[in-house]
Amino acid sequence: MGNVLVFGASGQLGQCLRHVAAERGNDDLVFLPEAEANILDTDAVKAVFAHYQPTYCINCAAYTAVDKAEDEVEIARKVNRDGAANLAQACTEYGATLIHISTDFVFAGTGNQPLSETDEAAPISVYGLTKLEGEQAVAEHTSQYFTLRTGWLYSEYANNFVKTMLRLGRERDELRVIWDQVGTPTYAIDLAGCILTIIETQNQQYGLYHYSNEGVTSWYDFATAIFELSNTHVRTVPIRTAEYPTKATRPAFSVMDKTKAKTNLGVYIPHWRESLKVCLARL
């Protein structure tokens, strides 16, 4: 299979890739230390590619501070657009395939039907805009790529909604959680499995894909399920987005259609509650 470079290896998805690769006995993945793997440093990127001669490159590196991005437009754009472009160019130069991670935040979220890869992207935040620009940069600089849009990522690693709810559920009697933003949670271990399946099957059906778990829920219902399945006793109160103002606007509806991923990539996608049970058992 050859070397598989992982950029952003210390983040949540990077750690999940390490976990799933170990489970599958896949020792081709090279988890690059941050000092070696700054995607904004074109010389460093080229040096890493020249050294490892990878067949695949996985880009888990991103600027993901959604609210801070409203004030830090340039750094968000550098990481999410220019960094992605640097990796895509290196992949073209070395004949490697790029697997790039994007987001459901590229959508406005004004509809009520599952979003397919051909639906119009119209981001309503700086984060969403810079991630869309990253997708476009990847497509511009390489033809051998898989861009996977995902959302609501959680796992037993790093900071995420599930771990935050478990902590707050232990500390408080009542939690107010938004109920009018609807999407699908994604267990990052499942996403890591999808990425490794693409590599292990040497799939060449390149392009843009949607990947989250199956089903539909709100943040309020997600939190309620976390507490129910973990036997955490806390009262949850549903609130509207307007009652919890944030600097960046979130899509109200970002449920994605995964038909293309299931058909072309040959992956089985579990329901979000089933994957949540697995994560909670591991935690």
Q: Which CATH architecture has domain 4-159+185-214+255-270?
A: 3-Layer(aba) Sandwich (3.40)
Report d(CA 19, CA 192) in Å as an integer: 9
Beta strands in the chain (DSSP E): 4-7, 29-31, 56-59, 97-103, 145-150, 153-154, 174-178, 182-183, 186-187, 207-210, 217-218, 235-239
Please report, as a single letter, which amino acid is at residue 156: E
pLDDT single digits (tens) 6-36: 999 999 999 999 999 999 999 999 999 888 8
Residues belonging to the active site: 127
Amino acid at 256: M
DSSP string for 60-101: ------TTGGGT-HHHHHIIIIIIHHHHHHHHHHHTPEEEEE
The closest alpha carbon to 99, from 12, 193, 187, 33, belongs to 193
pLDDT digits (tens, 9 = 90+) for 29-84: 999 988 889 999 999 999 999 999 999 999 999 999 999 999 999 999 999 999 99
Cα 253 from chain centre: 17
Looking at residue 220, what is its pLDDT?
A: 98
- Rounded to whole angstroms, the Cα distance separating 191 from 260 reads 15
Phi and psi dihedrals of 9, rounded to 5?
-65, -20
